[in-house]
Chains A and B, each alone.
Chain A
Amino acid sequence: MSAPVAIVEARGVGKVYPMPAGPVEALRDVSLTVAPGEYVAISGPSGCGKSTLLHLLGCVDTPTAGSLLFEGHPVRAMGEEERSRIRLRRIGFVFQRFYLLPMLTAWENVELVQSEAGMPAAERRARTRELLEYVGLGERAGHRPSQLSGGEMQRVAIARALANRPGLLLADEPTGELDDETGEQIGDLFDRVNADGTALVIVTHNPALAARARRRLAMRSGRLAAPSVVAGS
């Protein structure tokens, strides 16, 4: 029996930014495999390379060294278009600053990514209703981001990230703009998302949020601290 294909696998990846004052080595020799349904938290001091790693895992950027496989396919061989398609259909992103579109309602924000993926209207409607209820905002569908609290906006953003049923949800400091109590609610929601089968990789400073992950990684100066802490195994 062959092992299930990892969602994303980094093999000795590095990322160097050429800067006028000399190259910045943001990541060095990072290897990480995220299996379907996993729950990973990455923590570490500012500037240690967490966001850079997350962007590589999310096919937003490409490594300057090593290799990266997304669902078994080498990312390096993909063009910008193909990576864009993978991001749309297979990956969900949650940002510290939510980045909901301010002129659209919660409903429209969640629906937009589905229509971009070409989902039929009837299916979109059903999925959007289901998702808004899932994140507890069924009643707020017609509200714009400016009419929502920070925690509510992040819940809409999570609904949006899940809209096309991705196998992997990536979050960069998802509670960075929220108070502890609201952060707890977001943490509960992530737990539920993971329990429902979506793999999660969360970059966070928030120890309470990191503690929820089954696998907690520490980063320092562009390297993953070994060995990884694996909870419950």
Chain B
Amino acid sequence: MKHRGLFLLQLGFTLVVCAFLIVPVILSIMAGLTVNYFVGIESGLTLRWVIEVWNGYRDTIFLSIGLSLACLVVTLILGVPAAYVLAKRQTALTRAMEELLVMPVAVPGLATALALIVTYGSLSGFRTSWGFILVGHVLFTLPFMVRSVLAVLSAIDLKTLEEGAASLGAGFWPRFRDIVLPNCRSGILAGSLMVVTLSMGEFNMTWLLHTPFTKTLPVGLADAYASLRLEVGSAYTLVFFLMIMPLLLALQAFAKPRPAKFVAEETE
């Protein structure tokens, strides 16, 4: 009886927290679907705002998707080997590198963006391309990739596993492909999930880095809120959700850890 009471209490608390998080989202989405937000839901439901957003901001959506995928590719190529090296070589240098990697996360995005503009702003071709924003996003998201892969690599006895593979004749590349990568799969997937989500939603830095031709989804969202009707802004939020939810769900499904079964000692 006592346990049941505790369970109900926990359930209630969880539901309250969920409601706290989800209700604003639902309200915002509803606002994007009502004819007139100030009149309320009685004014009727419409897709007009969504269509308006699609027509006006389609490009920001495609840019954001492209940007986050490019960001993912770059962080994978840079981050996974970096995590591997950090996991393998525990020296003062690698530990210092590990600490340095959190810098872009700790420093406000605006500051990083400013530094990028000061450094590369004069390269006009680069300044106006989406590559400029990509650099910012990579700086910001790389630590998340490295950390999440490193966490998995540190939890397994990588050195001995590699020695085992080497004793069976596997050189460096086969080892990396067959042993290292598969065993940090969950870290790579978790890192990818973070990188794509963070890149999609990044606003601080992107707001400073963008040009009228390189507007990302969150920047467009700010635009819409600032200059258009609240319904359009809300419809934009809805579109943003529709974009990012399937992605999140897909990555989440991949990242699911395999269940580990315990097997008692069998004497033969």
A and B associate: no
Give the interface of A toward B (CB within 8 A): none
